[in-house]
Chain A
Amino acid sequence: MSALNPVVTVYVPRDSTALALGADQVAADITEQARQRGVNIKLIRNGSRGMFWLEPLVEVATAEGRIAYGPVETEDVAGLFDADFLNGGQHRLALGLVEEIPYLKKQERLTFARVGITDPLSLEDYLAHEGYAGLRRALDMSSEAVVQEVLDSGLRGRGGAAFPTGIKWKTVAATQAAQKYIVCNADEGDSGTFSDRMVMEDDPFMLIEGMTIAALAVGASHGYIYVRSEYPHAIAALNHAIVSASNANYLGENILGSHSSFHLEVRKGAGAYICGEETALLESLEGKRGVVRAKPPLPAIEGLFGKPTVINNVISLASVPVILARGAAFYKNYGMGRSLGTLPMQLAGNIRHGGLVEKAFGVTLRELLIDFGGGTASGKPIRAVQVGGPLGPYLPPSLFDTKLDYEAMAAVGGMLGHGGIVVFDDSVDMAKQARYAMEFCASESCGKCTPCRIGSTRGVEVIDKIVAGEPRQAVVQIKLLRDLCDTMVNGSLCAMGSMTPLPVLSALDHFPEDFGDGALNQAA
């Protein structure tokens, strides 16, 4: 019977955005329909391809490849069976071969190569898709050679500051200590960012492998992944994967029979944006309030519990396996200038085709917003985009031809941050966005510096006065706001206080008409 009626593999994502759009119910419905109709299916819960407007995106394995249907809702499931979707049948929701969907096809997926394809919790699946090839190669190399490979790849930290990862590792490797740590910064607090979440939920072994390679490279025996409490699905996936990796000796004592040992643990944050800042994160891991430490000493020299510590973002660490597996030259072949490799960018907010786009550095904002994103979801014109999280400036359409590269963005007063792009249509009130930036800083400041702690509260009040005030008063208040921003930039210890002025001033500079009388504004 099975020869006549082979088992068909069906994929329904388990990524949390897919879940938020009903993927669990769709998976249950597909299983139930198959049972009722007496057909044999194998249902795999894969990760998401990152085309979120199509989620839940159901895929069926056929002789030609994986055929996609989406977005599938509960009421579509019976119809899909009627249309013989298990054999790639035609249906209103049919999208053809998933790999041929332009949004996906035009990407350059190095870090996200497996994401959406495999079952994230299956170690066998991971191994069958080049998983642990990087670690195997690293185990055959000296630790110096591993560090050199990462240095040569040109990989810069993807968490925001863009500091070369290899140099950080080299410092930790060169520091003598009985105990060293690898800490993964999985706090991903920026609005509009979800690539870290996707790695953790949709390919957790890749992060574990990257951290293990980092441990070999610097001589660390223990690691922590600090995940924000807002990501329960990521925490569950990581814990599951850590157990599987440990059982198969990819973690633990004498990894794969080598002399290296590495133990890994997930720690849950507690809803504080500032704990994404690396030293605040270390304080939090130590069980304290997440207050920023003054540097020096660098965490590479005195980090967690005073020991040398590599602290890297999820994507930085997740980029390491492919660099080791394919070599530094392969990786640095992508990108431009001093921004090498690829960046997983995230299209969010008021955008028609929101999702994850991994491309080599050098793609323009316009390509992302229009070619990939398809413009706004509301159909109205785009008025502003905020790139780089809540501390990133708001950019007007006149800057959309800027290439996404750390230096090119900086040259127009922008930043790339963690690659989050939040789109607003023309209904946005930029004075309100500026006020929100100040309010966010006031609520999330760690409290160490006065300009950040108090300045942000004053900032909210001043913006309120500008919006409510008489034109003549507005001139004075706008001058006051600029002075205040100056003080915050110059008097703050970390980027929370020193960069909150970016969204505020960019709103004022690019969208003065939203702050009362435009002409008076410019005069101020």
Chain B
Amino acid sequence: MSQPAVPTRALPRSVLRAMNPATLRRRASGAPFVLPVVAAAVAIVVCCPLVFVVMQAGQSGWDSVRQLLGRPLVTTLLWHTLELTVTVTAATLLVGFCAAFLTQRTDIPGRRVFTVLLAMPLAVPEFVHGYCWVSLFPSVQGFWGAVLVMTTSLYPLVFLPVAATLRGSDAATEEVARSLGHSRWRVLWRVTLPQTRPALAGGALLVSLYLLGEYGAFAMVRYTTFATAIYTQFETSFDTVSASVLALVLIVLAVLVIGAEAGAGRRRGRVVREGAAARPADPLPLGRGRIPALVGLAAVVGTTLGVPVYALGYWLAKGNSSTLPSASIWSATATTAGYALVTAAVATAAAVPVALLAWRHPGHASEGIVRLAYLTRALPGIAVALAVVFFAIRYAQPWYQQPPMLVAGYVVLFFPLALTAVRASLAHVPHGVEDVARSLGRRRLAVLVRVTLPLIGPGLAASFAMVALTASTELTATLLLHPTGTETLATRFWSYTTGLAYGAAAPYAAMMTLLSVPAVVLLTRRTLGPARSLKEEA
């Protein structure tokens, strides 16, 4: 465990402290070990799908592995997956950064409204996005269809963290760069963009991991990826072993993606202003660029939000099915909201120790835990759900198909979202701040509660809202893990759409979207609230 080399006095003091018998005794009593132990425990739970996949794949012989990977479609699908991942990730970075910059740093009219609207696609589940596009424009299909649908539904994962960073970062560095004679564009490229690098990298990581494992939305636009092959093995061959072998391939891809993120997100030191309040930048006057910028943002909002809203309205008006047991929508709504909120709280709480560990003790061990936790995101939902089924029924049978198990499944699925949000906000906390607080005589826990957590408050709120949003629309794992007899909005929506009752399904999709609106508003307000400063907190 290496100590961050920030405050000058920290290094010798920490060395002294480590050598001190009293410290060693205190360590033995547990306090400094709590964090690594808790973080490792979280990592173990979150990694159970990986263990499951490796265990299952281990039952396969080399011959069948060769045969599996030698199939004509496998190479094609692998290529599809890579092509799509790269394209959509690039597109979300571009749209996400531009939208964030325009709404947070320029004088474009309606900034706050745009900020909320731009985050709103998060409120629409991917399969609803997919269906809306396909039902309105049958020509939206294939590679470009997939790029369109996935970019429009995933770019908020980049937009929000980048917007938060731009809002919270200090204007001083940019002003210094300007005063040194750099042009606006050069400042944007050399100063502003690098400041958002961790946020961009974190967003890109989520987007690309998401794309590796996504299936439902691609099915809608009739584009097949490697995840399709895995679903086929599960769903038409009932062959968990072969499916797991294929899933291992996705995990290898995910390892590469995570490695790339680590490279892009870390890159030398970060500019963090210490000891004084961060001061927000003055909005950049757009001048004549105002109109094109407005048109651009309106176009993004129009395509990402307009299409789903229109399609949902269309369904609601057109649907002919009348067998809907209308009373159940309210209980499904309550169930959905309940699970989403509990999951959000648990996932956020679980992300804090892992993120803190990586932040306090950057090193191979802590980074390893973080990366392991991300890997799960690349697995198709059905693999994650079956893994939870597998372990739950063996080691926690009384809880099997009980509410805690569904929450646990959600936490496993959405932990990376929480971790990204918490890590992104920790990245802006100066490293010495906890040491300073402790040197003033505060106990560890008090420092955490009174200093560290308030500093990352926006990150915690972002994590909470993000997980709540995603959990409220989850389908695959919900179908397998929900307590028998309870229904969520997503499972009802699924029931009706598989019965071709789109009219009956529409209220559930609309309710899912409506339910998510407050979370998105919270997300944008908390993430982008007034820039927090050390002065306020300390």
A and B from one complex: no
